[in-house]
């Protein structure tokens, strides 16, 4: 490895460390500056500024009692057909804030399609928990931009076959920096940086089609933007500039959408194509072969409750991402951390935080104090009855000793069979012409000696008994001619004997 390669790796690692430190700082700052009442009791105000070619479009909305409302939209046109300068943007923003009465509202910037690039990438599923750092490290490989010079964000498209598929949106930070500086000069700041195409996708997602897959097509005078949404997730995008005549434009839209449509798994129900400015392209449904639903002013009014021109969906999308419940758009300024800046801490928030801290302290201290008081009272009662307690403890120990003795006797009785039971069993089994001269009972064995007319007849009878096993002669049988009988010595084991009791002899009879 040469010095240049080592320097590149060190620089990438340093960038990764900086991003992680920044993420930790942002989370800590957001925790301290969160306004718990904004959008609930205190109305949340937002202005979305969409930078377009030859114009600046601004949408204003609020959220109060968790209910969003679109208050107004306005477009400021500029000469030259070029993108407005930073000063022109701030001038339009200040004028719109005065018209809408939106001073102090949070600001969202929506950048045009030519300013950013969209890439899809696949990675091993094991990096899921550390995606932000991994993308920061690999951004210069996935896009033409490095993490230090880029503003970017990403979303997860799918997870399957141990792979995770991502959609990455990135732009050069230097392109937007003059606009951010102009806002700062006017004592303003952008809370979030989104894109025109993802904003229109959000509008389509809120409008809904009733299906799992939606194709969104935003047709402008100079070109079009398209995207696909599957199960509420942005999957792919496409964008083209128009040629001069309308016929070529329609053909250009068809060719641009073709690769994106081929990737869709239509199944039995084909996806619906939501199109803005559809009246200018009445034959688009026949060309692309899918059902087309135009996004009209009536649709926008029915959903958002305001008169909205269908050509103002750019700023509307960024606004909806900010104030609409359940919607989460891209934030290129967050660099993948999805960290949304909060308003400074309000006095009410500080009071509420103080109340919460006090309540937590009381919740810890009061139970401890009450428990200590109760323990002291119990200890006082114990001290006053100390002699009685000692007498009770002595009786308890004595009772425990007696219980242990009883348990030992019971265990011995249950584990070792009684000699009387064994003698009774032998009396029952042996014939009348058999007499014993010796009976020896140990812990697990029984040994008998005696005389019988035929010693071999005794073994089967003993083996049939339920109390004996392994019955055998322990010494040769001798025929006593004087008594005309066999002298035998038989040894056997007791059935079911608990060997834990040992082999100490229990009794011996002669």
Residues 363 and 488 in one domain: no
CA distance 166 to 124: 11
Residues 317 and 367 in one domain: no
**Domains in the chain, number:** 3
Residue 351 placed within a domain: no
Residue 248 placed within a domain: no
- pTM of the entire structure? 0.57
Q: CATH number for the domain including 16?
A: 3.30.420.380
Residue 48 placed within a domain: yes
Q: What is the pLDDT of residues 139-198, one digit of tens each?
A: 888 899 988 899 999 988 888 888 999 989 999 999 999 999 999 998 888 888 998 888
Residues 406 and 472 in one domain: no
DSSP string, 301-335: HHHHSS---TT-HHHHHHHHHHHSTT-----GGGT
Residue 434 placed within a domain: yes
Residues 200 and 172 in one domain: yes
Q: CATH number for the domain including 490?
A: 3.30.1360
DSSP string, 445-489: EEEEEEEES-GGGHHHHHHTSTTEEEEEESS--EEETTTTEEEEE
Residues 35 and 174 in one domain: yes
Query: Which helix (H) or strand (E) covers residue 11, if one does?
Result: helix 3-33
Q: What is the pLDDT of residues 317-336, one digit of tens each?
A: 888 888 887 777 788 888 87
Confidence bin at 23 (pLDDT 50/70/90): low
Residues 75 and 154 in one domain: yes
Q: What is the pLDDT of residues 91-132, one digit of tens each?
A: 999 999 999 988 889 999 999 888 998 888 899 988 888 888
Residue 399 placed within a domain: yes
Residues 397 and 426 in one domain: no
Q: Which of 392, 412, 432 is the last residue of a domain?
A: 412
Residue 109 placed within a domain: yes
Residues 402 and 473 in one domain: no
Residues 110 and 44 in one domain: yes
Given a contact cutoff of 8 angstroms between Cβ atoms, the answer to whether 313 and 276 are in contact is yes
Residue that is written with structure tokens 């993802």 in the block: 198
Q: What is the pLDDT of residues 421-473, one digit of tens each?
A: 788 888 888 888 888 888 888 878 888 888 888 878 888 888 888 888 888 88
Residue 291 placed within a domain: no
- List the domain range (segments joined by +) for residue 385: 356-412
């Amino acid at each position: 490895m040469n010095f240049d390669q080592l320097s590149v790796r060190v620089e990438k690692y340093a960038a990764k460390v900086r991003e992680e430190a920044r993420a930790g700082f942002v989370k800590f700052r957001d925790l301290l500056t969160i306004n718990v009442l904004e959008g609930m009791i205190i109305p949340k105000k937002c202005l979305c500024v969409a930078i377009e070619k030859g114009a600046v479009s601004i949408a204003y909305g609020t959220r109060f009692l968790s209910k969003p409302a679109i208050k107004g939209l306005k477009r400021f046109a500029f000469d030259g057909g070029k993108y407005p300068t930073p000063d022109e943007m701030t001038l339009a923003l200040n004028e719109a804030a005065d018209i809408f009465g939106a001073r102090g509202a949070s600001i969202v910037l929506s950048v045009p399609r030519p300013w950013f690039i969209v890439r899809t990438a696949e990675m091993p599923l094991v990096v899921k928990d550390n995606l932000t750092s991994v993308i920061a490290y690999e951004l210069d490989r996935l896009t033409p931009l490095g993490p230090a010079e880029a503003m970017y964000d990403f979303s997860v498209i799918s997870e399957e076959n141990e792979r995770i598929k991502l959609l990455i949106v990135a732009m050069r930070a230097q392109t937007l920096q003059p606009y951010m500086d102009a806002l700062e000069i006017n004592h303003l700041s952008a809370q979030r940086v989104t894109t025109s195409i993802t904003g229109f996708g959000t509008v389509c997602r809120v409008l809904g089609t009733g299906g799992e897959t939606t194709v969104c097509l935003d047709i402008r005078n100079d070109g079009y933007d398209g995207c696909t949404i599957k199960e509420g997730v942005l999957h792919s995008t496409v964008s083209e500039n128009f040629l001069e005549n309308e016929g070529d434009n329609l053909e250009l839209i068809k060719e641009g959408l073709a690769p994106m449509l081929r990737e869709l798994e239509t199944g039995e129900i084909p996806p619906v194509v939501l199109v803005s400015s559809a009246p200018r392209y009445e034959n688009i449904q026949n060309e692309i072969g899918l059902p087309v639903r135009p996004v009209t002013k009536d649709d926008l009014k029915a959903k958002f409750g305001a008169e909205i021109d269908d050509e103002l969906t750019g700023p509307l999308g960024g606004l909806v991402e900010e104030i609409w419940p359940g919607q989460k758009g891209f934030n290129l300024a967050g660099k993948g951390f999805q960290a949304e800046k909060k308003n400074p801490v309000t006095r009410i928030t500080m009071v509420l935080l103080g109340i919460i801290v006090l309540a937590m302290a009381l919740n810890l201290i009061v139970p401890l104090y009450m428990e200590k008081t109760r323990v002291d009272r119990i200890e006082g009662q114990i001290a006053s009855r100390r002699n009685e307690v000692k007498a009770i403890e002595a009786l308890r120990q004595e009772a425990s000793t007696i219980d242990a003795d009883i348990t030992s006797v019971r265990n011995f009785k249950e584990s070792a069979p009684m000699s009387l039971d064994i003698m009774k069993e032998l009396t029952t089994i042996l014939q009348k012409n058999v007499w014993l001269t010796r009976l020896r009972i140990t812990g697990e064995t029984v040994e008998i000696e005696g005389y019988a007319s035929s010693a071999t007849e005794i073994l089967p009878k003993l083996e049939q008994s339920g109390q004996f096993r392994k019955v055998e002669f322990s010494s040769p049988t001798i025929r006593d001619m004087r008594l005309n009988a066999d002298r035998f010595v038989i040894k056997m084991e007791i059935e079911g004997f608990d060997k834990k009791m040992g082999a100490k002899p229990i009794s011996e009879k002669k």
